[in-house]
């Protein structure tokens, strides 16, 4: 039975239980996922996860209570669970205080259904994994493949229905040279692309030879740097998850981008950032409010905040349909003009940073971050990779690194889907270019 068919049955069953004066909404989270862990180019663990969850929200007389229900897929059993959950919600509701900022359901003019449906068979995933391991049969490769279809749906007793179902495939792997030296690779997309996987593996092979050379050490200070799309993604995701564009974080003084919002600081005009609806995440939040494209940064300047329906009432500002956490679901950073062939030659002499590790804020109010380099971070001379770089810590202000020190962004952008699988597969993603900077501040 398809996820959509199951959703419709659950919707029908739940709405049949609504009593007069009650408002009921349901937020569906489903996935049919396949996972495979591999080491030394051999599959060591393989399995599938079929998961169906429903968050029921019951509202009456200005109060609201929520309860998560795990669904079995068996209709009579699921109906019993829904009846039990509604009984518990009805018992809890009168004990709750009235909520002055309880969001209203989406307006009647927004009652249309949103559909984003796609899919891919598990056989295709198995073929992709087989092809990847065949490419790496002579290498020490370790990683994980995650594949399958994820869905989100919303319904309520005001006749609203929304549905999103998308395929999401990704591989996160490392090619190990020796000890702590390895090349980190990742690929993600809605459809398997064996040529892209082959290109990634070919690039990893080219870096393995350099990893065998003695490590190069540099002195602390500013060093010319080329940041990979993965490294750029790490920087922007750190801003995102710590409330960079959250209206609540801004009003409470917690946002690392407060100086950008106030106009005190700016990024390079090359930087434009969008919270896009074109990613794996649905184009609606858990109550069904539509989530449009939101310009977060426009040519280095503040674009706008992410505002959830609750925050819209709290702060008396228009809602952008943001999730409760007010984080961008699909960060899309503008592409530039730097071609792949020009990237290392444009760097000249400096550091190619493939990955950043242990990233955190050293001064959140000023958007200063610290972290370490890891995996195949290379020392480059004359546009040629000459040696791996010793593990280094950096500490830098993003307004400077991606401001006056940003020289160019790459034409090509890489899709990064979150590898988090706590409770369920995450749908957050980013689309990022590489960044050529005149200096990255290393500290030790």
Give the Å distances, CA to CA, from 258 to 110, 215, 245, 270, 286: 32, 39, 9, 20, 27
Three-state DSSP class for residue 85: helix
Q: Which helix (H) or strand (E) holds 155?
A: strand 140-156
Token pair for residue 29?
A: 């989270």
Token pair for residue 375?
A: 């995996």
To which residue do tokens 């049919």 refer?
32
Would you say 175 and 211 are in contact if contact means Cβ atoms under 8 Å apart? no
Digit-by-digit pLDDT tens for the chain (444 residues) are: 899 999 999 999 999 999 999 999 999 999 999 999 999 889 999 999 999 999 999 999 999 999 999 999 999 999 999 999 999 999 999 999 999 999 999 876 666 565 655 544 556 888 999 999 999 999 999 999 999 999 999 999 999 999 999 999 999 999 999 877 899 999 999 889 999 999 999 999 988 989 989 999 999 999 999 999 999 999 999 999 999 999 999 999 999 999 999 999 999 999 999 999 998 999 999 999 999 999 999 999 999 999 999 999 999 999 999 999 999 999 999 999 999 889 999 999 999 999 898 999 999 999 999 999 888 899 999 999 999 999 899 999 999 999 999 999 999 999 999 989 888 999 999 999 999 999 999 998
The pLDDT of residue 1 is 82
To which residue do tokens 């971050």 refer?
369
Give, in degrees to the nearest 5, the angle at Cα 335 between 330 and 341.
Answer: 130
Q: Where are the domains positioned within the chain?
A: 3-209, 213-442
Would you say 367 and 398 are in contact if contact means Cβ atoms under 8 Å apart? yes
> What is 3-209's CATH number, 3.30.2290.10, 3.20.20.70, 3.30.70.600, 3.40.50.300?
3.30.2290.10
Q: In this structure, how many other beta carbons lie within 10 angstroms of the beta carbon of residue 295? A: 13
Task: Please report the sign of the dihedral spanned by the C-alpha atoms of residue 431, residue 433, residue 437, residue 443.
Answer: positive
Three-state DSSP class for residue 72: coil
> What is d(CA 289, CA 103) in angstroms, rounded to the nearest whole number?
10
> What is d(CA 36, CA 19) in angstroms, rounded to the nearest whole number?
46
Work out whether strand 221-227 and strand 350-353 pair parallel, antiparallel, or are unpaired: parallel
Would you say 169 and 192 are in contact if contact means Cβ atoms under 8 Å apart? yes
Three-state DSSP class for residue 427: coil
Q: In this structure, how many other beta carbons lie within 10 angstroms of the beta carbon of residue 293? A: 14
> What is d(CA 232, CA 236) in angstroms, rounded to the nearest whole number?
6
Reported residue count of the chain is 444
pTM across the whole model: 0.93
Would you say 376 and 389 are in contact if contact means Cβ atoms under 8 Å apart? no
> What is d(CA 340, CA 229) in angstroms, rounded to the nearest whole number?
12
Task: Please report the sign of the dihedral spanned by the C-alpha atoms of residue 270, residue 349, residue 356, residue 221.
Answer: negative
Helix axes 194-211, 122-135, angle to 10 degrees: 30
Give the Å distances, CA to CA, from 386 to 90, 206, 216, 304, 373: 68, 12, 9, 43, 17
Work out whether strand 294-298 and strand 273-275 pair parallel, antiparallel, or are unpaired: antiparallel
Q: Exposure string (b/e) for 28-37, b if CB count within 10 Å is 16 or more?
A: bbbbbbbbbe
Give, in degrees to the nearest 5, the angle at Cα 17 between 16 and 20.
Answer: 100
Residue 154, Cβ density class (10 Å: 0-12 exposed, 13-18 middle, ≥19 buried)? buried
Residue 387, Cβ density class (10 Å: 0-12 exposed, 13-18 middle, ≥19 buried)? middle
Q: Which of 336, 352, 260 is nearest to 301 (CA)?
A: 260
Give, in degrees to the nearest 5, the angle at Cα 168 between 163 and 171.
Answer: 165
To which residue do tokens 């007793």 refer?
157
Three-state DSSP class for residue 269: coil
The pLDDT of residue 323 is 95
> What is d(CA 29, CA 310) in angstroms, rounded to the nearest whole number?
21
Would you say 428 and 241 are in contact if contact means Cβ atoms under 8 Å apart? no
Half-sphere exposure of 85 (CA within 13 A, CB side): 26
Would you say 3 and 151 are in contact if contact means Cβ atoms under 8 Å apart? yes
């Amino acid at each position: 039975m398809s996820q959509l068919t199951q959703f419709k049955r659950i919707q029908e069953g739940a709405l049949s239980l609504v009593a007069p004066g009650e408002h009921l909404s349901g937020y569906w989270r489903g996935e049919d996922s396949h996972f495979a862990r591999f080491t030394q180019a051999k599959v060591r663990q393989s399995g599938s996860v079929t998961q169906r969850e429903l968050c029921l929200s019951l509202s009456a007389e200005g109060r609201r209570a929520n309860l998560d229900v795990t669904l079995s897929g068996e209709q009579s059993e699921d109906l019993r669970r829904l009846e039990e959950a509604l009984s518990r919600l009805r018992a809890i509701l009168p004990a709750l205080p009235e909520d002055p900022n309880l969001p209203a359901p989406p307006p009647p003019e927004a009652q249309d259904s949103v559909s984003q449906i796609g899919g891919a068979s598990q056989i295709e995933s198995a073929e992709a994994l087989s092809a990847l391991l065949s490419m790496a049969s002579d290498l020490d490769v370790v990683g994980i493949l995650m594949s399958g279809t994820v869905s989100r749906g919303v319904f309520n007793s005001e006749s609203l229905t929304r549905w999103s179902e998308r395929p999401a495939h990704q591989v996160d792997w490392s090619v190990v040279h020796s000890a702590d030296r390895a090349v980190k690779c990742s690929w993600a997309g809605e459809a398997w692309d064996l040529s892209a996987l082959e290109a990634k593996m070919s690039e990893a092979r080219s870096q393995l030879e350099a990893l065998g050379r003695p490590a190069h050490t540099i002195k602390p200070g500013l060093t010319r740097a080329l940041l990979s799309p993965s490294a750029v993604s790490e920087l922007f995701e750190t801003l995102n998850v710590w409330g960079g564009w959250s209206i609540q974080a801004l009003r409470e003084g917690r946002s690392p981008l407060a100086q950008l919002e106030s106009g005190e600081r700016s990024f390079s005009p090359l930087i434009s950032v969008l919270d896009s609806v074109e990613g794996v995440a649905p184009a609606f939040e858990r109550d069904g409010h539509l989530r449009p494209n939101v310009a977060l940064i426009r040519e280095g300047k503040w674009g706008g905040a992410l505002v959830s329906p609750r925050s819209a009432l709290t702060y008396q500002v228009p809602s952008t349909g943001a999730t409760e956490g007010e984080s961008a679901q699909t960060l899309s950073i503008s592409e530039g003009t730097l071609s792949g062939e020009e990237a290392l030659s444009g760097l000249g002499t400096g550091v190619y940073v493939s990955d950043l590790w242990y990233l955190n804020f050293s001064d959140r109010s000023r958007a200063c971050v610290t972290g370490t380099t890891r995996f195949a971070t290379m020392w480059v001379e004359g546009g040629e990779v000459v040696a791996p770089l010793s593990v280094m810590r950096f500490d830098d202000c993003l307004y400077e690194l991606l401001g006056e020190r940003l020289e160019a962004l790459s034409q090509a952008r890489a899709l990064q889907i979150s590898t988090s699988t706590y409770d369920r597969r995450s749908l957050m993603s980013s689309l990022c270019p590489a960044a050529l900077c005149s200096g990255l501040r290393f500290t030790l």
